Amino acid sequence: MLYTGFVMNIKPNLPNEIFWGKEYSWRMDNKVNGWLALAAVISSLADIIFAHTVSQWPLAPRAGIVLAEFLALALWARSMTHWIRGMDEMHRRITTSVVLFAVGATFFFMLLWHCLNRVGLFDAAFGTPKTGGSWDIGTVCHGFLLLVLFYGIAQAMFNRRYK
């Protein structure tokens, strides 16, 4: 009685709560993806906007920034896992497939981009960037954007199977 009265009346999580549309919930999206957004903000500030300033800092603060980014990513994985566990069986299967596809595709794309940049493809095709940097997309901020893109693509692909 206690179990059914407390646990069974909680509505299950829905995948569309964090994907733009009719059922989107800003509160749930922030609860699930807030740590990922924090990691992206830290990365964009440290690696893109203030890269020249941060590169002149001593080793300990720079290492602290990297550890803060990856701690936020670990906490995001924890919140995503907790959110997926609150779904029913069908949504859990679809969402797990979507997240695995998005993470795998992001990892593959960033690794491919890095290898192509290392052999000089982008310098040969587009010339050296005016900022004196490289064409590499190795920041958490870039990974966040790619993850969102691949999540949307995977959501559309995997949801078509069940309609």
Question: What's the confidence (pLDDT) of residue 49?
Answer: 81
Spell out the domain ranges in the chain: 16-160
pLDDT number for residue 59: 92
- pTM of the predicted protein model: 0.76
State the pLDDT at residue 97. 94
Determine the pLDDT at residue 50.
Answer: 86
Contacts 24+ apart (CB under 8 A), 131-140: 133/51, 137/110, 137/113, 138/110, 138/114, 139/43, 139/44, 139/47, 139/48, 140/39, 140/40, 140/42, 140/43, 140/47, 140/69, 140/73
For each successive 10 residues of the chain (163 residues), what is the average pLDDT? 52 82 86 91 86 89 93 94 91 92 94 85 72 68 90 90 73
Q: What pLDDT is attached to residue 117?
A: 81
